[in-house]
Structure 1
Protein backbone atom coordinates (compact mmCIF):
# COMPACT_ATOMS: atom_id res chain seq x y z
CA UNK A 1 0.00 0.00 0.00
CA UNK A 2 1.44 3.34 -1.00
CA UNK A 3 1.80 6.19 1.48
CA UNK A 4 -0.94 8.76 0.90
CA UNK A 5 -0.66 12.50 0.74
CA UNK A 6 -4.00 14.05 1.59
CA UNK A 7 -5.08 17.56 0.83
CA UNK A 8 -6.73 18.66 4.05
CA UNK A 9 -8.38 21.94 4.84
CA UNK A 10 -6.53 24.02 7.38
CA UNK A 11 -7.36 22.31 10.68
CA UNK A 12 -8.75 24.09 13.69
CA UNK A 13 -6.15 24.16 16.43
CA UNK A 14 -6.93 22.39 19.68
CA UNK A 15 -5.25 25.22 21.55
CA UNK A 16 -7.70 27.70 20.03
CA UNK A 17 -10.58 26.27 22.03
CA UNK A 18 -8.68 25.71 25.26
CA UNK A 19 -8.81 28.41 27.93
CA UNK A 20 -5.66 29.60 29.71
CA UNK A 21 -4.04 27.24 32.18
CA UNK A 22 -3.20 27.89 35.80
CA UNK A 23 -0.95 26.08 38.21
CA UNK A 24 -2.52 22.95 39.64
CA UNK A 25 -2.86 22.16 43.30
CA UNK A 26 -1.14 18.81 43.67
CA UNK A 27 -3.49 17.40 46.26
CA UNK A 28 -4.36 13.74 46.48
CA UNK A 29 -7.61 12.88 44.71
CA UNK A 30 -9.83 9.90 45.26
CA UNK A 31 -10.90 7.86 42.23
CA UNK A 32 -14.39 9.38 42.45
CA UNK A 33 -13.05 12.93 42.75
CA UNK A 34 -10.74 12.28 39.81
CA UNK A 35 -13.63 11.18 37.60
CA UNK A 36 -15.79 14.12 38.68
CA UNK A 37 -13.02 16.62 37.93
CA UNK A 38 -12.47 15.16 34.46
CA UNK A 39 -16.20 15.17 33.65
CA UNK A 40 -16.61 18.72 34.91
CA UNK A 41 -13.68 19.92 32.83
CA UNK A 42 -15.10 18.30 29.70
CA UNK A 43 -18.49 19.95 30.26
CA UNK A 44 -16.91 23.35 30.80
CA UNK A 45 -14.65 22.93 27.78
CA UNK A 46 -17.66 22.16 25.58
CA UNK A 47 -19.55 25.17 26.92
CA UNK A 48 -16.45 27.33 26.38
CA UNK A 49 -16.19 26.21 22.75
CA UNK A 50 -19.87 26.97 22.14
CA UNK A 51 -19.53 30.42 23.70
CA UNK A 52 -16.45 31.16 21.55
CA UNK A 53 -18.32 30.17 18.38
CA UNK A 54 -21.30 32.30 19.42
CA UNK A 55 -19.05 35.30 20.06
CA UNK A 56 -20.38 35.65 23.62
CA UNK A 57 -17.34 37.22 25.29
CA UNK A 58 -19.12 37.67 28.62
CA UNK A 59 -20.00 33.99 28.85
CA UNK A 60 -16.50 33.01 27.69
CA UNK A 61 -15.05 35.03 30.55
CA UNK A 62 -17.38 33.45 33.10
CA UNK A 63 -16.57 29.92 31.94
CA UNK A 64 -12.83 30.60 31.93
CA UNK A 65 -13.12 31.91 35.49
CA UNK A 66 -14.91 28.72 36.53
CA UNK A 67 -12.24 26.59 34.84
CA UNK A 68 -9.54 28.50 36.70
CA UNK A 69 -11.39 27.95 39.98
CA UNK A 70 -11.29 24.20 39.24
CA UNK A 71 -7.53 24.31 38.66
CA UNK A 72 -7.42 24.78 34.89
CA UNK A 73 -5.91 22.44 32.33
CA UNK A 74 -3.08 21.40 34.64
CA UNK A 75 -5.58 20.21 37.25
CA UNK A 76 -7.39 18.21 34.57
CA UNK A 77 -4.11 16.66 33.45
CA UNK A 78 -3.21 15.81 37.04
CA UNK A 79 -6.55 14.02 37.38
CA UNK A 80 -5.97 12.21 34.08
CA UNK A 81 -2.50 11.22 35.20
CA UNK A 82 -3.86 9.87 38.48
CA UNK A 83 -6.53 7.98 36.57
CA UNK A 84 -3.81 6.33 34.48
CA UNK A 85 -1.48 5.68 37.42
CA UNK A 86 -0.18 2.17 37.90
CA UNK A 87 -1.71 1.77 41.33
CA UNK A 88 -5.13 2.30 39.76
CA UNK A 89 -4.37 0.03 36.80
CA UNK A 90 -5.02 2.86 34.39
CA UNK A 91 -2.10 2.93 31.93
CA UNK A 92 -3.96 2.45 28.65
CA UNK A 93 -0.71 1.91 26.75
CA UNK A 94 -0.39 -1.47 28.51
CA UNK A 95 -3.26 -2.64 26.31
CA UNK A 96 -1.50 -1.34 23.20
CA UNK A 97 1.78 -3.06 24.09
CA UNK A 98 -0.01 -6.34 24.79
CA UNK A 99 -1.84 -6.19 21.47
CA UNK A 100 1.22 -5.46 19.34
CA UNK A 101 3.55 -7.85 21.20
CA UNK A 102 3.55 -10.39 18.31
CA UNK A 103 4.58 -7.62 15.89
CA UNK A 104 7.50 -6.68 18.12
CA UNK A 105 8.95 -10.20 18.37
CA UNK A 106 11.02 -9.92 15.14
CA UNK A 107 12.69 -6.82 16.58
CA UNK A 108 13.82 -8.46 19.81
CA UNK A 109 17.59 -8.22 20.24
CA UNK A 110 17.89 -5.96 17.18
CA UNK A 111 18.42 -2.19 16.91
CA UNK A 112 15.14 -1.79 15.01
CA UNK A 113 12.16 -0.04 16.57
CA UNK A 114 8.65 0.90 15.53
CA UNK A 115 8.06 4.63 15.67
CA UNK A 116 5.11 5.70 17.83
CA UNK A 117 3.45 9.12 18.04
CA UNK A 118 1.68 9.46 21.38
CA UNK A 119 -0.74 12.38 21.24
CA UNK A 120 -1.85 13.77 24.59
CA UNK A 121 1.05 12.11 26.40
CA UNK A 122 1.00 12.36 30.19
CA UNK A 123 4.07 10.35 31.17
CA UNK A 124 7.46 9.23 29.90
CA UNK A 125 7.25 6.08 32.01
CA UNK A 126 4.15 4.36 30.69
CA UNK A 127 4.22 0.90 29.11
CA UNK A 128 4.90 1.97 25.53
CA UNK A 129 7.66 4.37 26.62
CA UNK A 130 9.40 1.61 28.56
CA UNK A 131 9.29 -0.92 25.70
CA UNK A 132 12.70 -1.30 24.05
CA UNK A 133 11.19 -2.04 20.63
CA UNK A 134 9.29 1.25 20.45
CA UNK A 135 10.67 4.69 19.68
CA UNK A 136 8.06 7.01 21.17
CA UNK A 137 7.54 10.67 20.28
CA UNK A 138 5.31 12.28 22.91
CA UNK A 139 3.35 15.49 22.42
CA UNK A 140 0.73 17.36 24.44
CA UNK A 141 -0.78 20.83 24.53
CA UNK A 142 0.56 21.38 28.04
CA UNK A 143 3.67 19.29 28.64
CA UNK A 144 3.83 17.93 32.19
CA UNK A 145 7.45 16.76 32.21
CA UNK A 146 10.69 16.69 30.18
CA UNK A 147 10.45 14.27 27.27
CA UNK A 148 6.97 15.45 26.25
CA UNK A 149 6.98 18.07 23.50
CA UNK A 150 4.52 20.92 23.95
CA UNK A 151 2.66 20.81 20.65
CA UNK A 152 -0.82 20.90 19.14
CA UNK A 153 -1.15 17.86 16.85
CA UNK A 154 -3.40 19.87 14.53
CA UNK A 155 -0.53 22.34 14.13
CA UNK A 156 2.25 19.77 13.75
CA UNK A 157 3.82 20.18 10.27
CA UNK A 158 2.69 17.53 7.81
CA UNK A 159 5.41 14.93 7.09
CA UNK A 160 7.75 15.63 4.20
CA UNK A 161 9.02 12.05 4.00
CA UNK A 162 8.67 8.66 5.70
CA UNK A 163 11.21 9.57 8.37
CA UNK A 164 8.65 12.10 9.64
CA UNK A 165 5.92 9.46 9.77
CA UNK A 166 5.07 6.78 12.32
CA UNK A 167 4.11 3.13 12.44
CA UNK A 168 1.65 3.65 15.30
CA UNK A 169 -0.34 6.66 16.49
CA UNK A 170 -1.88 6.64 19.96
CA UNK A 171 -5.06 8.65 20.58
CA UNK A 172 -5.86 7.63 24.13
CA UNK A 173 -8.66 9.78 25.59
CA UNK A 174 -7.76 12.54 23.15
CA UNK A 175 -10.50 12.48 20.51
CA UNK A 176 -13.16 13.02 23.18
CA UNK A 177 -11.30 16.14 24.36
CA UNK A 178 -11.71 17.82 20.96
CA UNK A 179 -14.67 20.14 21.65
CA UNK A 180 -16.54 19.87 18.34
CA UNK A 181 -17.63 16.97 16.15
CA UNK A 182 -16.08 18.27 12.91
CA UNK A 183 -12.75 18.76 14.67
CA UNK A 184 -12.77 15.09 15.69
CA UNK A 185 -13.25 14.07 12.08
CA UNK A 186 -10.39 16.32 10.99
CA UNK A 187 -8.12 14.80 13.64
CA UNK A 188 -8.81 11.27 12.42
CA UNK A 189 -8.19 12.31 8.81
CA UNK A 190 -4.96 14.04 9.78
CA UNK A 191 -3.65 10.85 11.39
CA UNK A 192 -3.61 9.16 7.97
CA UNK A 193 -0.91 11.54 6.74
CA UNK A 194 1.33 10.63 9.68
CA UNK A 195 1.31 6.84 9.17
CA UNK A 196 3.70 4.84 7.00
CA UNK A 197 4.22 1.28 5.82
CA UNK A 198 7.97 1.83 5.43
CA UNK A 199 9.96 -0.45 7.76
CA UNK A 200 12.34 0.86 10.42
CA UNK A 201 15.47 2.30 8.82
CA UNK A 202 17.87 -0.44 7.73
CA UNK A 203 15.39 -3.30 8.13
CA UNK A 204 13.21 -5.23 5.70
CA UNK A 205 10.44 -5.99 8.18
CA UNK A 206 6.81 -5.91 7.08
CA UNK A 207 4.94 -3.17 8.92
CA UNK A 208 1.21 -2.58 9.26
CA UNK A 209 0.56 1.02 10.37
CA UNK A 210 -1.98 1.30 13.17
CA UNK A 211 -4.09 3.76 15.12
CA UNK A 212 -4.68 3.04 18.81
CA UNK A 213 -7.95 4.67 19.88
CA UNK A 214 -9.30 4.91 23.43
CA UNK A 215 -12.61 6.59 24.26
CA UNK A 216 -14.97 6.71 27.22
CA UNK A 217 -17.30 3.80 26.51
CA UNK A 218 -20.36 6.05 26.77
CA UNK A 219 -19.16 7.95 23.67
CA UNK A 220 -19.88 4.84 21.63
CA UNK A 221 -22.55 2.91 23.53
CA UNK A 222 -24.73 5.74 24.85
CA UNK A 223 -24.57 8.49 22.25
CA UNK A 224 -27.43 9.70 20.09
CA UNK A 225 -25.10 10.32 17.18
CA UNK A 226 -22.39 7.65 17.34
CA UNK A 227 -22.62 3.87 17.53
CA UNK A 228 -20.03 1.13 17.12
CA UNK A 229 -21.38 0.56 13.63
CA UNK A 230 -21.05 4.24 12.66
CA UNK A 231 -17.53 4.39 14.07
CA UNK A 232 -16.71 1.28 12.02
CA UNK A 233 -18.06 2.97 8.87
CA UNK A 234 -16.05 6.14 9.51
CA UNK A 235 -12.80 4.27 10.13
CA UNK A 236 -13.36 1.93 7.16
CA UNK A 237 -13.81 4.91 4.84
CA UNK A 238 -10.40 6.12 6.01
CA UNK A 239 -8.77 2.81 5.11
CA UNK A 240 -8.73 1.25 8.59
CA UNK A 241 -9.78 -2.24 9.66
CA UNK A 242 -10.49 -3.14 13.27
CA UNK A 243 -7.73 -5.48 14.49
CA UNK A 244 -8.41 -5.53 18.23
CA UNK A 245 -11.10 -4.26 20.57
CA UNK A 246 -11.70 -4.35 24.31
CA UNK A 247 -14.41 -2.81 26.43
CA UNK A 248 -14.54 -2.15 30.16
CA UNK A 249 -17.21 -0.48 32.27
CA UNK A 250 -15.60 2.91 31.57
CA UNK A 251 -13.48 2.69 28.41
CA UNK A 252 -13.38 1.21 24.94
CA UNK A 253 -9.96 0.32 23.48
CA UNK A 254 -9.49 -0.26 19.76
CA UNK A 255 -6.56 -0.97 17.45
CA UNK A 256 -7.21 0.01 13.84
CA UNK A 257 -4.84 -1.23 11.12
CA UNK A 258 -4.40 0.89 8.01
CA UNK A 259 -5.04 -1.60 5.22
CA UNK A 260 -6.44 0.47 2.36
CA UNK A 261 -6.43 3.88 0.73
CA UNK A 262 -8.53 6.74 2.06
CA UNK A 263 -11.93 6.79 0.36
CA UNK A 264 -13.34 10.25 1.05
CA UNK A 265 -16.89 9.94 2.35
CA UNK A 266 -18.87 12.47 4.40
CA UNK A 267 -20.56 11.56 7.68
CA UNK A 268 -23.01 14.06 9.11
CA UNK A 269 -24.46 14.41 12.58
CA UNK A 270 -27.69 12.44 12.67
CA UNK A 271 -29.67 10.62 15.33
CA UNK A 272 -28.76 6.93 15.30
CA UNK A 273 -29.66 5.96 18.84
CA UNK A 274 -32.59 8.07 20.16
CA UNK A 275 -33.33 8.45 23.84
CA UNK A 276 -33.57 11.12 26.53
CA UNK A 277 -30.66 9.70 28.53
CA UNK A 278 -28.21 9.61 25.61
CA UNK A 279 -25.23 11.95 25.33
CA UNK A 280 -24.39 14.13 22.32
CA UNK A 281 -20.92 12.85 21.41
CA UNK A 282 -20.46 12.67 17.65
CA UNK A 283 -17.91 12.64 14.85
CA UNK A 284 -18.52 14.61 11.65
CA UNK A 285 -16.43 13.95 8.55
CA UNK A 286 -16.61 16.48 5.72
Structure 2
Protein backbone atom coordinates (compact mmCIF):
# COMPACT_ATOMS: atom_id res chain seq x y z
CA UNK A 1 0.00 0.00 0.00
CA UNK A 2 1.44 3.38 -1.04
CA UNK A 3 2.05 6.04 1.57
CA UNK A 4 -0.78 8.49 1.98
CA UNK A 5 -0.06 12.02 0.93
CA UNK A 6 -0.07 14.28 3.99
CA UNK A 7 -1.84 17.54 3.25
CA UNK A 8 -0.57 20.34 5.48
CA UNK A 9 -2.85 23.21 6.38
CA UNK A 10 -1.61 26.62 5.36
CA UNK A 11 -0.39 29.03 8.00
CA UNK A 12 -2.97 31.50 9.25
CA UNK A 13 -0.67 34.21 7.95
CA UNK A 14 -1.62 33.25 4.37
CA UNK A 15 -5.18 34.30 5.10
CA UNK A 16 -4.21 37.84 6.05
CA UNK A 17 -3.17 40.66 3.71
CA UNK A 18 0.60 41.35 3.46
CA UNK A 19 2.15 43.83 5.88
CA UNK A 20 3.50 47.28 5.03
CA UNK A 21 3.93 50.54 6.92
CA UNK A 22 0.94 51.51 9.07
CA UNK A 23 -1.50 54.12 7.80
CA UNK A 24 -2.69 57.23 9.62
CA UNK A 25 -6.23 57.95 10.80
CA UNK A 26 -8.91 57.85 8.12
CA UNK A 27 -12.55 58.78 7.69
CA UNK A 28 -15.44 56.34 8.14
CA UNK A 29 -16.07 56.28 4.38
CA UNK A 30 -12.42 55.61 3.57
CA UNK A 31 -12.07 52.91 6.25
CA UNK A 32 -15.26 51.15 5.13
CA UNK A 33 -14.18 51.24 1.47
CA UNK A 34 -10.76 49.88 2.39
CA UNK A 35 -12.20 47.04 4.48
CA UNK A 36 -14.62 46.05 1.72
CA UNK A 37 -11.85 46.17 -0.88
CA UNK A 38 -9.61 43.94 1.23
CA UNK A 39 -12.40 41.41 1.73
CA UNK A 40 -13.16 41.26 -1.99
CA UNK A 41 -9.50 40.96 -2.95
CA UNK A 42 -8.93 38.30 -0.30
CA UNK A 43 -11.87 36.32 -1.69
CA UNK A 44 -10.39 36.52 -5.19
CA UNK A 45 -6.95 35.55 -3.88
CA UNK A 46 -8.36 32.42 -2.22
CA UNK A 47 -10.19 31.51 -5.42
CA UNK A 48 -6.99 31.89 -7.44
CA UNK A 49 -5.06 29.81 -4.91
CA UNK A 50 -7.70 27.07 -5.02
CA UNK A 51 -7.36 26.92 -8.81
CA UNK A 52 -3.58 26.80 -8.57
CA UNK A 53 -3.28 30.02 -10.58
CA UNK A 54 -0.04 31.36 -9.12
CA UNK A 55 0.18 34.34 -11.48
CA UNK A 56 -3.31 35.57 -10.61
CA UNK A 57 -2.68 35.01 -6.90
CA UNK A 58 0.57 36.99 -7.06
CA UNK A 59 -1.15 39.84 -8.91
CA UNK A 60 -3.91 40.02 -6.27
CA UNK A 61 -1.37 39.94 -3.43
CA UNK A 62 0.39 42.87 -5.10
CA UNK A 63 -2.93 44.71 -5.37
CA UNK A 64 -3.62 44.10 -1.66
CA UNK A 65 -0.15 45.42 -0.84
CA UNK A 66 -0.83 48.53 -2.94
CA UNK A 67 -3.77 49.29 -0.64
CA UNK A 68 -1.48 49.26 2.37
CA UNK A 69 -1.41 45.59 3.36
CA UNK A 70 -2.31 44.21 6.76
CA UNK A 71 -1.28 47.29 8.73
CA UNK A 72 -3.54 49.53 6.66
CA UNK A 73 -6.42 47.04 6.93
CA UNK A 74 -5.96 46.88 10.70
CA UNK A 75 -5.92 50.67 10.88
CA UNK A 76 -9.26 50.72 9.05
CA UNK A 77 -10.61 48.07 11.41
CA UNK A 78 -9.51 50.11 14.40
CA UNK A 79 -11.37 53.11 12.98
CA UNK A 80 -14.44 50.90 12.64
CA UNK A 81 -14.10 49.74 16.24
CA UNK A 82 -13.64 53.23 17.72
CA UNK A 83 -16.11 54.02 20.49
CA UNK A 84 -17.66 57.00 18.74
CA UNK A 85 -18.62 54.73 15.84
CA UNK A 86 -20.09 51.96 17.96
CA UNK A 87 -18.01 49.29 16.25
CA UNK A 88 -16.61 47.50 19.31
CA UNK A 89 -17.89 43.92 19.01
CA UNK A 90 -17.03 43.14 22.62
CA UNK A 91 -19.88 45.42 23.72
CA UNK A 92 -22.29 42.73 22.56
CA UNK A 93 -20.44 40.12 24.60
CA UNK A 94 -20.75 42.20 27.77
CA UNK A 95 -24.51 42.51 27.15
CA UNK A 96 -24.75 38.71 27.15
CA UNK A 97 -22.61 37.93 30.19
CA UNK A 98 -23.82 37.85 33.83
CA UNK A 99 -21.96 41.09 34.63
CA UNK A 100 -23.61 41.76 38.05
CA UNK A 101 -22.64 38.26 39.25
CA UNK A 102 -19.14 38.69 37.88
CA UNK A 103 -18.71 42.01 39.70
CA UNK A 104 -20.09 40.73 43.00
CA UNK A 105 -17.81 37.69 42.93
CA UNK A 106 -14.80 39.97 43.38
CA UNK A 107 -12.76 37.72 41.09
CA UNK A 108 -11.63 38.25 37.53
CA UNK A 109 -12.09 35.66 34.82
CA UNK A 110 -9.47 34.97 32.14
CA UNK A 111 -10.09 35.89 28.52
CA UNK A 112 -7.98 35.10 25.47
CA UNK A 113 -8.67 37.56 22.66
CA UNK A 114 -7.46 36.15 19.34
CA UNK A 115 -6.94 38.63 16.51
CA UNK A 116 -6.76 41.55 18.92
CA UNK A 117 -6.53 45.00 17.35
CA UNK A 118 -6.32 47.06 20.52
CA UNK A 119 -6.29 46.74 24.30
CA UNK A 120 -8.99 49.33 24.95
CA UNK A 121 -12.22 47.62 23.92
CA UNK A 122 -15.18 47.19 26.26
CA UNK A 123 -14.13 43.84 27.70
CA UNK A 124 -10.53 44.95 28.18
CA UNK A 125 -11.50 48.05 30.14
CA UNK A 126 -14.39 46.48 32.10
CA UNK A 127 -12.21 45.29 34.97
CA UNK A 128 -13.94 41.90 34.77
CA UNK A 129 -11.18 39.98 33.02
CA UNK A 130 -7.51 39.22 33.09
CA UNK A 131 -6.92 39.67 29.37
CA UNK A 132 -4.41 38.03 27.06
CA UNK A 133 -4.34 39.68 23.62
CA UNK A 134 -2.72 37.97 20.63
CA UNK A 135 -2.56 38.77 16.92
CA UNK A 136 -0.50 37.81 13.89
CA UNK A 137 0.65 41.42 13.56
CA UNK A 138 0.68 43.20 16.92
CA UNK A 139 -0.37 46.86 16.81
CA UNK A 140 0.36 47.63 20.50
CA UNK A 141 2.88 46.60 23.18
CA UNK A 142 0.04 44.89 25.10
CA UNK A 143 -0.72 42.55 22.20
CA UNK A 144 1.43 39.42 21.85
CA UNK A 145 2.45 38.76 18.25
CA UNK A 146 1.40 35.13 17.97
CA UNK A 147 -0.47 32.66 15.76
CA UNK A 148 -3.19 30.98 17.82
CA UNK A 149 -2.54 27.70 15.98
CA UNK A 150 1.07 27.83 17.18
CA UNK A 151 0.37 28.98 20.73
CA UNK A 152 1.78 26.42 23.20
CA UNK A 153 -0.90 24.29 24.81
CA UNK A 154 -1.56 25.08 28.49
CA UNK A 155 0.13 22.61 30.82
CA UNK A 156 -2.13 23.23 33.81
CA UNK A 157 -5.79 24.00 34.41
CA UNK A 158 -4.80 27.36 35.88
CA UNK A 159 -3.20 28.33 32.56
CA UNK A 160 -6.49 27.86 30.70
CA UNK A 161 -9.16 30.47 29.97
CA UNK A 162 -12.78 31.03 30.90
CA UNK A 163 -13.61 32.58 27.55
CA UNK A 164 -12.01 32.90 24.13
CA UNK A 165 -12.90 35.71 21.74
CA UNK A 166 -12.73 34.94 18.01
CA UNK A 167 -14.07 38.20 16.62
CA UNK A 168 -13.64 38.42 12.84
CA UNK A 169 -10.85 35.87 13.00
CA UNK A 170 -12.25 32.62 11.59
CA UNK A 171 -13.13 34.26 8.27
CA UNK A 172 -9.45 35.11 7.70
CA UNK A 173 -8.26 31.53 8.12
CA UNK A 174 -7.36 30.63 4.52
CA UNK A 175 -8.82 27.10 4.35
CA UNK A 176 -12.10 25.49 5.39
CA UNK A 177 -10.16 22.72 7.13
CA UNK A 178 -8.06 25.26 9.01
CA UNK A 179 -11.20 26.92 10.36
CA UNK A 180 -12.42 23.60 11.71
CA UNK A 181 -9.03 22.92 13.29
CA UNK A 182 -9.11 26.34 14.97
CA UNK A 183 -12.51 25.65 16.53
CA UNK A 184 -11.32 22.22 17.66
CA UNK A 185 -8.17 23.69 19.18
CA UNK A 186 -10.14 26.09 21.37
CA UNK A 187 -11.13 23.10 23.52
CA UNK A 188 -7.52 22.77 24.70
CA UNK A 189 -7.50 26.32 26.07
CA UNK A 190 -10.80 26.41 27.97
CA UNK A 191 -11.08 25.52 31.64
CA UNK A 192 -13.22 22.52 32.53
CA UNK A 193 -15.44 24.31 35.06
CA UNK A 194 -14.24 27.82 35.90
CA UNK A 195 -17.45 28.99 37.55
CA UNK A 196 -17.79 26.45 40.35
CA UNK A 197 -15.28 28.22 42.58
CA UNK A 198 -16.29 31.75 41.58
CA UNK A 199 -19.99 31.68 42.42
CA UNK A 200 -20.82 32.84 38.90
CA UNK A 201 -23.70 31.52 36.80
CA UNK A 202 -22.73 28.42 34.83
CA UNK A 203 -24.90 29.60 31.95
CA UNK A 204 -22.06 31.42 30.21
CA UNK A 205 -18.71 29.74 30.92
CA UNK A 206 -16.41 28.30 29.67
CA UNK A 207 -17.24 29.72 26.27
CA UNK A 208 -16.33 31.08 22.86
CA UNK A 209 -17.45 34.47 21.55
CA UNK A 210 -17.61 34.10 17.76
CA UNK A 211 -18.12 36.96 15.32
CA UNK A 212 -18.30 36.44 11.56
CA UNK A 213 -19.34 38.60 8.63
CA UNK A 214 -23.08 38.08 8.27
CA UNK A 215 -22.63 36.77 4.73
CA UNK A 216 -20.66 33.79 6.07
CA UNK A 217 -23.88 32.60 7.73
CA UNK A 218 -26.73 33.98 5.66
CA UNK A 219 -25.33 33.89 2.13
CA UNK A 220 -22.87 30.99 2.11
CA UNK A 221 -23.29 27.97 -0.10
CA UNK A 222 -21.80 25.55 2.43
CA UNK A 223 -22.70 27.09 5.81
CA UNK A 224 -25.88 28.16 7.57
CA UNK A 225 -26.65 28.87 11.21
CA UNK A 226 -28.05 25.36 11.66
CA UNK A 227 -25.01 23.82 9.99
CA UNK A 228 -22.71 25.81 12.29
CA UNK A 229 -24.73 24.62 15.30
CA UNK A 230 -24.31 21.04 14.09
CA UNK A 231 -20.53 21.37 14.10
CA UNK A 232 -20.37 23.22 17.41
CA UNK A 233 -22.62 20.62 19.06
CA UNK A 234 -20.27 17.90 17.87
CA UNK A 235 -17.43 19.79 19.53
CA UNK A 236 -19.39 19.89 22.78
CA UNK A 237 -20.59 23.49 22.57
CA UNK A 238 -24.15 24.72 22.92
CA UNK A 239 -25.52 28.03 21.71
CA UNK A 240 -26.18 30.54 24.50
CA UNK A 241 -26.84 33.72 22.48
CA UNK A 242 -26.95 34.79 18.84
CA UNK A 243 -27.54 38.06 17.05
CA UNK A 244 -27.50 39.26 13.44
CA UNK A 245 -26.81 42.86 12.49
CA UNK A 246 -26.64 44.36 9.02
CA UNK A 247 -22.99 43.34 8.65
CA UNK A 248 -22.12 40.83 11.37
CA UNK A 249 -23.22 37.54 12.94
CA UNK A 250 -22.53 37.30 16.69
CA UNK A 251 -22.79 34.13 18.77
CA UNK A 252 -21.80 32.91 22.23
CA UNK A 253 -21.13 29.20 22.70
CA UNK A 254 -20.74 27.47 26.05
CA UNK A 255 -18.64 24.34 26.34
CA UNK A 256 -21.29 22.05 27.79
CA UNK A 257 -19.94 18.53 27.25
CA UNK A 258 -16.91 16.57 26.01
CA UNK A 259 -16.47 15.81 22.32
CA UNK A 260 -19.46 13.86 21.07
CA UNK A 261 -17.16 11.45 19.24
CA UNK A 262 -13.47 10.63 19.05
CA UNK A 263 -13.87 10.61 15.27
CA UNK A 264 -15.33 13.67 13.53
CA UNK A 265 -15.94 14.12 9.82
CA UNK A 266 -17.68 17.41 9.06
CA UNK A 267 -17.61 17.76 5.30
CA UNK A 268 -18.15 20.52 2.77
CA UNK A 269 -21.76 20.01 1.73
CA UNK A 270 -23.97 22.41 -0.22
CA UNK A 271 -26.83 23.43 2.07
CA UNK A 272 -27.78 26.82 0.61
CA UNK A 273 -27.64 26.62 -3.21
CA UNK A 274 -27.72 29.66 -5.43
CA UNK A 275 -25.59 31.43 -8.01
CA UNK A 276 -25.06 34.48 -5.80
CA UNK A 277 -23.86 32.51 -2.76
CA UNK A 278 -20.28 32.75 -1.49
CA UNK A 279 -18.09 29.71 -0.86
CA UNK A 280 -17.30 30.21 2.83
CA UNK A 281 -17.12 26.81 4.53
CA UNK A 282 -15.86 25.05 7.65
CA UNK A 283 -14.73 21.44 7.54
CA UNK A 284 -13.21 19.16 10.14
CA UNK A 285 -11.70 15.69 10.03
CA UNK A 286 -10.52 14.47 13.42
CA UNK A 287 -8.18 12.83 14.15
CA UNK A 288 -6.31 14.59 11.35
CA UNK A 289 -4.12 11.50 10.79
CA UNK A 290 -7.13 9.79 9.23
CA UNK A 291 -7.11 12.21 6.31
CA UNK A 292 -6.18 10.75 2.94
Listed one character per residue, the Cα deviations across residues 127-164 of structure 1 (whole Å, up to 9, x for unaligned) are 00011121110001111112111111011011111122
Query: 1:269 and 2:268 equivalent?
Result: yes
Output the CA distance in 1 between the equivalents of 2:125 and 2:17. 32
What value does the CA root-mean-square deviation take over the aligned residues? 2.4
> Among 14, 20, 23, which residue is 1:22 paired with?
20
Distance change (3 Å), C-alpha of 1:177 and 1:19? closer
Q: Does 1:139 align with 2:138?
A: no
**Is structure 2 residue 192 aligned with structure 1 residue 194?**
no
Structure 1, residues 182-217: CA drift from partner, whole Å, max 9, x if none?
111111011111101343898565652010001111
Q: Structure 1 unaligned runs (5+)?
A: 1-8
Paired residues of 2:101 and 2:201 also in contact (CA < 8 A)? no
Q: Aligned residue for 2:288? A: none
Partner residue of 2:163 out of 149, 168, 176: 168
Describe how 1:8-47 pairs up with structure 2 within 5 A.
12-18=10-16, 20-31=18-29, 33-47=30-44
Measure the CA separation in 2 of the matches of 1:217 and 1:52.
24
Match of 2:103 in 1: 108
| 1:222-269 superposed Cα distances (whole Å, 9 cap, x missing partner) | 111101110110110000110011111111111001001112431111
> What's 2:230 paired with?
233
Corresponding residue of 1:244: 241
- Aligned CA distance change for structure 1 residues 225 and 81 (closer, same or farther; 3 Å): same
The equivalences for 1:197-212 within 5 A come to 197-199=192-194, 203=198, 208-212=205-209
Who is 2:63 aligned against?
A: 66
Cα distance between partner residues in 2 of 1:114 and 1:54: 45
Aligned partner of 1:151 among 146, 150, 155: 146
What SS does the corresponding residue of 1:91 show, helix, strand or coil?
Answer: coil
The unaligned stretches of length 5 or more in structure 2 are 1-6, 286-292
Question: Aligned partners of 1:276 and 1:14: how far apart in 2?
Answer: 28
Of 213-222 and 21-30, more deviation after overlay is shown by 21-30
Match of residue 5 from structure 1: none
Paired residues, number: 275
The residue matched to 2:267 in structure 1 has which SS? Answer: coil
Structure 1 CA distance for aligned equivalents of residues 8 and 160 of structure 2: 19
Q: 206-215 vs 84-93, which deviates more?
A: 206-215
In structure 2, the partner of 1:3 is none
Q: How high is the TM-score relative to the length of structure 1?
A: 0.87
Partner secondary structure for residue 276 of structure 1 = coil
CA deviation string 1:51-78 (max 9, x = no partner)? 5566655444322321110000011111
2:112 is aligned with 1:117:
yes
**Is 2:26–2:76's contact at 8 Å kept on the other side of the alignment?**
no
Deviation at 1:25, TM superposition (A): 2.5
Cα 1:230–1:130 shift into 2, 3 Å: same
How far apart are the structure 1 equivalents of 2:167 and 2:132? 14
In structure 2, the CA distance between the partners of 1:15 and 1:270, relative to structure 1 (3 Å rule), is: same
Partner SS for 2:140: coil
